[in-house]
Structures are given as C-alpha cells and as structure tokens.
Amino acid sequence: MIKMTYEQILSLLENNQLEKLRETVNLLHPADTAQIINELPDEYQTLTFKLLNHEIASDVLPDLYDEVREEILENIQQNRLVKIIDEMETDEATDIISELEEDVSKKLLEKIDREDSEEIKQLLKYDEESAGGLMQTEIIAVHQDMERDEMIEYIRENYEEVENIHYIFVVDDNNRLIGILEVTRLLLAKSQRQAKDIMDKEVISANVNLDQEQVAHIFRKYDIYILPVIDNEDHLLGRITVDDIIDVIDEEASEDAYKMVGLESEDRVFTSPLSSVKKRLPWLTLNLFTALLVSSVVGIFEQTIARLSFLAVLMPIVAGLGGNSGTQTLTVITRGIALGELTIHNTSKAIFKEISVGIINGILIGSAAMLIAYLLKGNILLGVVLGVAMICNMFIAGLVGSLIPILMKTLKIDPALASSVIITMLTDIGGFASFLGLATIVLK
C-alpha cells in the first residue's frame, strides 16, 4: 500500500501533474483518498475525484463530507455515476441516491443494474434512521437443509459480491430466519453436516422498523459484528454491519451534543456560513425570548436594584453557578439516557441523587460566596442573602436538570432537546428571583 501525504498530493495539483496524480490516488487506500479530498481546497476536490476509476470512486464517495459530496454530485456525468453506483453495496447506493434530486435519481435507477435497482427502490422506502435504512441486501442466506460443501460453493459464487461475510444466515422454506452460522464454524464442520445441525439457533436480529439508536444498543449490548434484519413475520431482509453502527454512534453522539446547545445535526464545521446562520437562527430567536423572560423577572425588582445597585453586580454569580450546575446535571442525565443506563427502574434514584448533589454543592459553594461577599462588602446580611440564594438555585438546578430530560423521555420527546437554553433560563430565573427577592425582603 503506498502512502502519500496531503502535501505531496497538493503539490501535484498545483503543478498540474494530473497523470501522476491519477496513478497515485487510484493506488492509495480509498479511505485515505477520501480524507485527502475532504481536506483539499474546494477548487481541487471535484478535479481529484474525476481522476478516480469507478471502483475506487465507489469506495471514496460515501466517505466524503456531505458538502464535498454534494458539490461532486452536481458536477458528475450521469454515465459515470451509474457505473460508480453499480460498484457500490446497496446500503451505500441507497444513501447516495436519496441525496440526489428526484428527477436525477429516477433516471439513475432506470440505468443501473436491474436487480440492484429493485432492491434500492425497496430500501429507499424505509426510514433513513431505522434498521431498514441501515441494512444492505448483500447477504449469504442458505436453506436449513443445505450441506457444508454446497454452502461453501454458494459462498464462493458470492464472495465478490458480499464484503465481510463472517456469518451466513439460515432460513426455512418460507425464508424465515431460524439460525446463524459463523464462517469459522463452517470451516471446521464435517462434509455432510447440514446448516440446521451446525447453526446457532439463538440468533439476535432486528426488526426492519427499529430505530437506529435501538439498533446501536443491540450491537453495544451483545458485542456483535453483523446483525440480520427481519420483517414482522421473521422473513430475512438484509443485514447491518458494525462499521455502519460506528457511524450511527458518532452521529447520535454529535446529535446529542448538538441538541444540548440548540444546533441541528447538519450544521458541521464546514457547512457554509449562510446555511449555518439559517440553522442556528430559530434557536437563537427562542433564546432571545427566554432571555426577555429572564429580563422581565429581573424587571420586577428594578426598584430594589435602583436603591441597591451592588445587587446588579452580584446577581450574575448566582445565575452563573446555577446555570453551570444545571448543565452538569443535564449532561449526566442525557448521557445516561443515551447509553441506555437510565431506565424506568432507576429514574427516581437518579433524580434524588442529582438534587442531593445540588443541595450539598449549594451549601458548600454558597458558604464560600457568603464569606467572600461579607469580606468584600462588609455586610453580613448581604452575604447571607447571596449564600441562601445560591443554595436555592443549585437545588433548582439539580431538580430541573434531571427532571426535565427524564420527563421528556417519558413523554417520548427526545430528552436531548431539554437543552441548555431551557435549563439556563430556569436557573437564571431561579437565581435572579431568589437573590433579588430575598434582598428585597431582607435588605430594606
């Protein structure tokens, strides 16, 4: 395997040595080529992709960043795209085709390999984020009566077609999945043994409509590499491979991190600025309204502030620590939900824990703040007001930071949407109201 650095490729491009470049990029590992194209200056990306032969191009295309692939697909000749897609596995072909304009994809589906085309049309019907949307139809499935040597012959015939076989699936007369057989086990089996004798009957599978997050949980929990996909009547439809699940896990982790701060998952490092602006604006607008709400709570105490302006100086401390405490709790709880650790059997324990942590931290940090305020302003009452307000607010932080995502999960709303904007609004209101409210009562 040749290795070539980004700088070498860039220099070939800058010196217009395209024949040398063509030779190189077709010899690199496709994953390396994809990474280099992703990082090249925009003007060289399409040019470099054009130099790839169809087979390499079919491996590179799915690994490109969305924005890069979009640009390349806009500039590609239809005949070439047909040849590239013919080389792809069905799950990847489906993903690419679903990104195309409808009229383009329609024409394309007429031109590619007939059998593939039918399968892709079927795959396009499944929700992109379901087991059906992840699966490929390239599988080795055998009838339960098939003998060892027949199975080996069957694998031989399909070896080029199906990558990463590792397991073959065993079905009954009605194409219902009844077992799974590791290739290694087949290798060690005696000649006359039938599939049903050597297969593992305890087969873990996923329904075609299962959400991709649940599919990832199955891989996570059972430590498997390949998962067969079935319909409601146990008919075998396809399989999902673990490399696609790694993408799902990355995607879901990004999505969760994104939702926490009100970002859409398509808003990536290299999304165009205008497109990012559009995506972030609705959430910032919501944030403007939550900020106005917070401001109106402060407004209730404007008279107090007018008399005691140092309250305005100290009030960000109460709100700031409450906000941070609240997002800490929120993060622990949403990660716990995402990894499947938090279930119906243990939620109250989790909420109780977060509230306790909030109160204890509130007492500790509140006492420190009390002391500091006293030392700075020489006013013991002010210190007490600050300290008590912080305890109240960190209790609120523990409560809303845990209760809200759990409540949303129970209501089957995505808990990651209980974003920091909402939690911070509540801790801001809690902080300002408790601090200024106490001050109004105590510091007359």
Site for a second copy in 350-369 (CB under 8 A): 350, 353, 356-357, 360-361, 364-365, 368-369
Q: What is the DSSP string of 287-307?
A: HHHHHHHHHHHHHHTHHHHHH
Among 84, 227, 319, 399, binds a second copy (CB under 8 A): 319
Decide whether 208 or 259 has the Cβ nearer to a second copy. 259
Smallest gap from Cβ 426 to a second copy, in A, equals 13
User: Which residue spans within 183-309 are E strands per DSSP?
Assistant: 206-207, 226-230, 236-241
Among 88, 180, 321, 418, binds a second copy (CB under 8 A): 321
State CA 304 to chain mean position distance.
47
Conformational region of residue 378, where left means phi above 0, alpha means psi within -120 to 50, and beta covers everything else: left
Decide whether 108 or 245 has the Cβ nearer to a second copy. 245
Q: Which residues pair with 236 in a beta bridge?
A: 230
Check residue 243 for interaction with a second copy (CB under 8 A).
yes
Please give the DSSP secondary-structure letter assigned to residue 86: H
Q: Which residues pair with 169 in a beta bridge?
A: 141, 180
- Going residue by residue from 158 to 187, which x/- string records binding to a second copy, judged by CB under 8 A? -x----xxx----------------xx-xx
Smallest gap from Cβ 383 to a second copy, in A, equals 14
Decide whether 226 or 229 has the Cβ nearer to a second copy. 226
**Tokens 């990651």 appear where?**
416
**Tokens 């059972």 appear where?**
222
For residue 279, which amino acid is it? Answer: K
Helix axes 90-99, 78-87, angle to 10 degrees: 150
Return d(Cα 185, Cα 188) in angstroms, integer. Answer: 5
Site for a second copy in 207-236 (CB under 8 A): 219-225
Check residue 29 for interaction with a second copy (CB under 8 A).
yes
Site for a second copy in 72-91 (CB under 8 A): none
Site for a second copy in 288-307 (CB under 8 A): 288, 290-292, 294-296, 298-299, 302-303, 305-306
For residue 336, which amino acid is it? Answer: G
Decide whether 261 or 380 has the Cβ nearer to a second copy. 261
Smallest gap from Cβ 65 to a second copy, in A, equals 7
Instruction: Using the rule CB under 8 A, give the single segment among 72-80, 123-131, 173-181, 419-427 that binds a second copy.
Output: 419-427
Q: Which three-class secondary structure state does DSSP give residue 267?
A: coil
